[in-house]
């Protein structure tokens, strides 16, 4: 649905138009930009509160900087809607995150203003530093490089690795710390407490303002003045500020904290900072959800609320007369608490996604046994391994795509040491509107190659519960991974008694002739639907839910090889190295002479869209499965086959 932009905003196609305005009109621009974001996101969905929080910052940056020559890098990029609207994409913004529409994150192929592709957090300082060093090398001394990073994203190790490096590079880098005290959930950790301390310490702020304004004035007087500034800084800031300022200790010049919603002050400060060389950090304090009262009040709920009525604030739900199956996330959250009540060794760990993965249920019920460790996937894995080394059983829940960050920790800290960490990989498979950075495409492939690792995937809620139950019964000789997708399962009546599943044992869903369909995980439900339609058309494939990509159910596979000349494998993951590849390897090792067709994500970047649209595009939704079977098998007369 197209939404009309305000009068001023509708004339701003690019930042060059913005820069023609008198600065006293910027507040108006901010109001219209904020309203436009509210109007479009309410009917289209997407990230909301973070975008409202950076409206002033976005306008000020594009007003002061000479983008795209000056380089602006957004961390995560979930807050870059204002940036997109001001940089040539206002009229296509209604296609944001929609299949074939623009991406919900900055993307280099989409615009020259998108200097760096993002989606995962905490990459902005490294990327902007790389750009700054490249400019220095090329002699582009007039070029500005700015990384905008949130307080949540600043908790990741990668951000600190970049600060550590940037502090000794004398390149032109400005880091803007957008501090709203929030990650998706409330931000956590000692850094958050430190930032709150320096934002609220009145005496320090007054002193800092005085020193900064004097230093900025002197620094405008020319090259020699910088030397004087440095000396003054060394003696004054060195003794007073450095002691208390983390960023100064890392050789950044620290400015702020300033009000990130005061557009006029922001413009002035950013102008001043353009004339100060070397690594600098500007600490901006903002409010997540700024300007939409409900979002300011419940920032987690309004991080990405889905569609809503912008007047009443009512978030739209899909209503149905029929009872609905739960989300896998909720099954995980409730089941973990159930198991933890039975087994006092169980602990819960999430890197910054407690409400996303539903560990918040355990954090509330058992606060001393469940940890949000901040955006810190590597730490989450090794922390879990540490817990496991002491006889505990951590359930470490990480979105599949974020787990890409922690591969070494899984190998080095958990698998080699045979530690029984249970890795629950949420959002495994096609993630949907978040797109390629968030699809859980690779985990089967990258976990399957790790020794001592169990790789499993439930086809429904009951299977998820039973896999979780099985994983904590004993040490299976190393980590136990369980992957499941974003969204709903298929069972309304899911809270059934626990039953152990034998590790490496698949199950037959239905018997058949001519061809066997082997599935892993929830995508097996598409195969169930496909088989029903195929049966009516006279095709009778057998269907096996293999449950494990590692170890494989070798006995079941050998009997399948003996009976069927044709096999289709289906997985919601990349086909290179994944579940289908595991079957191919086993088939080759056992001289299987039949034909094996693999369905899964092709060796390509899968863009954004709804899960169902992308399953279809990748060729493993119900219809694609039907077509694949029909292409391989000759139809037989309809007859009933009970599996
Ligand atoms: C590596 C990684 N882990 C987790 C996430 C999920 N995530 C996206 S935004 C976000 C919160 C970021 O907080 P902050 O940087 O402070 O931005 P804010 O939303 O507060 O503006 C999280 C945890 C991610 N994108 N990347
Ligand atoms: C930007 C980001 O990484 C998160 O906000 C992500 O979009 C959350 O995804 P879910 O909605 O699947 O929890
Ligand atoms: Mg934040």
Residues 6+ apart with CB under 8 A from 546: 506, 518, 519, 520, 552, 553, 556, 579
Window from 309-323, 445-459, 560-574 with minimum mean pLDDT: 309-323
Q: Please tell me the predicted confidence (pLDDT) of residue 640.
A: 46
Confidence label for 321 from pLDDT (cuts 50, 70 and 90):
confident
Per-residue model confidence as pLDDT tens digits over 94-132: 999 999 999 999 999 999 999 999 999 999 999 999 999
Q: Please tell me the predicted confidence (pLDDT) of residue 212.
A: 62
Rounded to the nearest integer, the mean pLDDT of the chain is: 94
Confidence check: pLDDT of 210 > 90: no
Per-residue model confidence as pLDDT tens digits over 219-249: 565 656 666 556 655 555 545 555 579 999 9
Beta strand spans in 273-402 (E): 279-285, 346-350, 370-372, 393-399
The third-level CATH classification (topology) of the domain covering 328-483 is: Rossmann fold (3.40.50)
Q: Which of 107, 192, 405, 550 is catalytic?
A: 405
Q: Establish whether 377 is a catalytic residue.
A: yes
Is 45's C-beta closer than 6 angstroms to any atom of ligand 2?
A: no
What is the C-alpha to C-alpha distance for residues 11 and 570, in angstroms, rounded to an integer? 50
Q: Please tell me the predicted confidence (pLDDT) of residue 234.
A: 55
Measured from the Cα of 357, ligand 2's closest atom is 13
From the CA of 295, the nearest ligand is 1
Give mean pLDDT, residues 64-74. 98
Is 608's C-beta closer than 6 angstroms to any atom of ligand 2?
A: no
CATH no. for 9-297: 3.40.50.970
Q: What is the DSSP letter of 237?
A: H
What is the C-alpha to C-alpha distance for residues 299 and 296, in angstroms, rounded to an integer? 6
Residue 29's alpha-carbon distances to 51, 310, 634, in angstroms, are 15, 20, 64
Confidence check: pLDDT of 641 > 50: no
The structure tokens 């530690």 sit at: 419
Q: Which of 288, 427, 550, 598 is catalytic?
A: 288
The percent helix, strand, coil of the chain (3-state, each to 5) is 45, 15, 40
Give mean pLDDT, residues 447-470. 98
More confident residue, 569 or 240: 569
Q: Please tell me the predicted confidence (pLDDT) of residue 320.
A: 80
Confidence label for 202 from pLDDT (cuts 50, 70 and 90):
low
Which residue among 153, 374, 486 has the greatest number of ligand 1 atoms within 8 angstroms of its CB, and so is best to mutate?
A: 153
Closest CA to 303 of 42, 36, 48: 48
- Percent of the chain at pLDDT above 70? 92
Measured from the Cα of 353, ligand 1's closest atom is 23
Q: Establish whether 585 is a catalytic residue.
A: no
Residue 629 tokens, joined: 């079977």
Q: Where are the domains of the chain?
A: 9-297, 328-483, 507-635
Give mean pLDDT, residues 279-302. 98
Q: Is 292 annotated as a binding residue?
A: yes
Per-residue model confidence as pLDDT tens digits over 75-90: 999 999 999 999 999 9
Residues 6+ apart with CB under 8 A from 227: none
Q: 542-545 and 507-510 as β-strands: parallel, antiparallel, unpaired? A: antiparallel
Is 150's C-beta closer than 6 angstroms to any atom of ligand 1?
A: yes
Is 356's C-beta closer than 6 angstroms to any atom of ligand 2?
A: yes
Q: Do domains 328-483 and 507-635 have the same CATH topology?
A: yes
Q: Is 226 annotated as a binding residue?
A: no
Q: Report the separation in Å between the CA atom of 187 and the middle of ligand 3, taken as the mean of its atom positions.
A: 7
Is 183's C-beta closer than 6 angstroms to any atom of ligand 1?
A: yes
Q: What is the DSSP letter of 65?
A: S
Q: What is the DSSP letter of 428?
A: -
Is 424's C-beta closer than 6 angstroms to any atom of ligand 1?
A: no
Q: Which of 248, 377, 462, 571 is catalytic?
A: 377
Q: Is 377 annotated as a binding residue?
A: yes
Q: Please tell me the predicted confidence (pLDDT) of residue 230.
A: 60
Q: Please tell me the predicted confidence (pLDDT) of residue 319.
A: 75
Q: 515-519 and 422-426 as β-strands: parallel, antiparallel, unpaired? A: unpaired
Cβ atoms of 581 and 487 closer than 8 Å: no
The structure tokens 């973990």 sit at: 336
Confidence check: pLDDT of 483 > 90: yes
0.90 cut: is pTM over it? yes
Is 288's C-beta closer than 6 angstroms to any atom of ligand 1?
A: yes
Q: Is 119 annotated as a binding residue?
A: yes
CATH no. for 507-635: 3.40.50.920
Confidence label for 643 from pLDDT (cuts 50, 70 and 90):
very low
Q: Report the separation in Å between the CA atom of 20 and the middle of ligand 2, taken as the mean of its atom positions.
A: 36
Identify how many contiguous H helices and E strands the chain contains and give both numbers.
27, 17
Cβ atoms of 458 and 464 closer than 8 Å: yes
From the CA of 289, the nearest ligand is 1
Which residue among 185, 358, 400, 438 has the greatest number of ligand 2 atoms within 8 angstroms of its CB, and so is best to mutate?
A: 438
Residue 449's alpha-carbon distances to 345, 407, 582, in angstroms, are 28, 11, 10
Q: Please tell me the predicted confidence (pLDDT) of residue 638.
A: 52
Confidence check: pLDDT of 387 > 50: yes
Per-residue model confidence as pLDDT tens digits over 580-613: 999 999 999 999 999 999 999 999 999 999 999 9
Give mean pLDDT, residues 304-313. 97
Q: Establish whether 405 is a catalytic residue.
A: yes
Give mean pLDDT, residues 447-452. 98
């Amino acid at each position: 649905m197209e939404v009309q932009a305000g009068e001023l905003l509708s004339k701003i196609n690019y930042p060059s138009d913005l820069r023609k305005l008198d600065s006293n009109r910027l507040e108006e621009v901010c109001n219209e930009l904020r309203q436009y974001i509210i109007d479009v996101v309410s009917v289209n969905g997407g990230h909301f509160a973070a975008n409202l929080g950076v409206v002033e910052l976005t306008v000020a940056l594009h007003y002061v900087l000479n983008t795209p020559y000056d380089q602006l890098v957004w961390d995560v990029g979930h807050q870059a809607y204002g940036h997109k609207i001001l940089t040539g994409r206002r009229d296509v913004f209604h296609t944001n995150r929609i299949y074939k529409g623009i991406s919900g994150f900055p993307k280099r192929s989409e615009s020259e203003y998108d200097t760096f592709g993002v989606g995962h957090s905490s990459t902005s300082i490294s990327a902007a530093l790389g750009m700054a060093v490249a400019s220095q090398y090329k002699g582009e001394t007039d070029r500005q490089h700015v990384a905008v990073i949130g307080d949540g994203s600043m908790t990741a190790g990668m951000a600190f690795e970049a600060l550590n490096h940037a502090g000794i590079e004398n390149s032109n880098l400005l880091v803007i710390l957008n501090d709203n005290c929030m990650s998706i959930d409330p931000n956590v950790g000692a850094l958050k407490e430190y930032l709150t301390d320096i934002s609220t310490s009145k005496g320090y702020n007054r002193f800092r303002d005085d020193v900064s304004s004097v230093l900025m004035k002197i620094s405008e007087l020319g090259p020699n003045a910088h030397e004087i500034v440095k000396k003054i800084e060394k003696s004054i800031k060195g003794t007073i500020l450095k002691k208390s300022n983390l960023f100064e200790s890392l050789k950044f010049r620290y400015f702020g904290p300033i009000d990130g919603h005061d557009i006029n002050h922001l413009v002035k400060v950013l102008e001043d900072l353009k004339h100060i060389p070397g690594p600098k950090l500007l600490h901006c304090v903002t409010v997540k959800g700024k300007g939409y009262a409900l979002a300011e009040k419940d920032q987690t709920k309004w991080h990405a609320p889905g569609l809503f009525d912008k007047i009443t604030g009512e978030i739209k739900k899909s209503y149905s007369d029929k009872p609905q199956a739960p989300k896998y996330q909720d099954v995980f959250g409730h089941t973990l608490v159930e198991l933890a009540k039975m087994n006092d060794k169980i602990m819960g760990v999430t890197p910054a996604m407690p409400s996303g993965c539903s560990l918040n249920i355990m954090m509330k019920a058992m606060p001393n046994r469940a940890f949000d460790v901040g955006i810190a996937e590597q730490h989450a894995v090794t922390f879990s391994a540490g817990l496991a080394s002491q006889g505990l059983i951590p359930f470490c829940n990480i979105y599949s795509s974020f787990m890409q960050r922690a591969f070494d920790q899984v190998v080095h800290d958990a698998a080699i040491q045979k530690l029984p960490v249970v890795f629950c990989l949420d959002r495994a498979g096609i993630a949907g509107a978040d797109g390629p950075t968030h699809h859980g495409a690779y985990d089967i492939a990258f976990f399957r190659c790790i020794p001592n690792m169990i790789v499993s995937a439930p086809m429904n809620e009951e299977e998820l519960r039973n896999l979780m139950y099985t994983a904590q019964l004993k040490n299976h000789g190393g980590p136990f991974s369980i992957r499941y997708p974003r969204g709903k399962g298929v069972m309304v009546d899911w809270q059934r008694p626990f039953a152990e599943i034998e590790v490496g044992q698949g199950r037959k869903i239905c018997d058949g002739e001519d061809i066997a369909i082997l599935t892993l995980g929830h995508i097996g439900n598409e195969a169930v639907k496909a088989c029903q339609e195929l049966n009516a058309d006279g095709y009778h494939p057998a269907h096996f839910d293999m449950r494990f990509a590692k170890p494989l159910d070798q006995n079941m596979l050998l009997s399948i090889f003996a009976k069927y000349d044709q096999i289709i494998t289906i997985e919601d993951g990349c086909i290179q190295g994944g579940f289908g590849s595991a079957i191919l390897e086993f088939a080759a090792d056992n001289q299987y002479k039949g034909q094996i067709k693999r369905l899964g994500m092709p060796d390509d970047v899968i863009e954004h869209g709804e899960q169902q649209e992308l399953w279809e595009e990748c060729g493993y939704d119900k219809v694609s499965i039907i077509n694949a079977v029909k292409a391989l098998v000759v139809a037989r007369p309809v007859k009933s086959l009970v599996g």
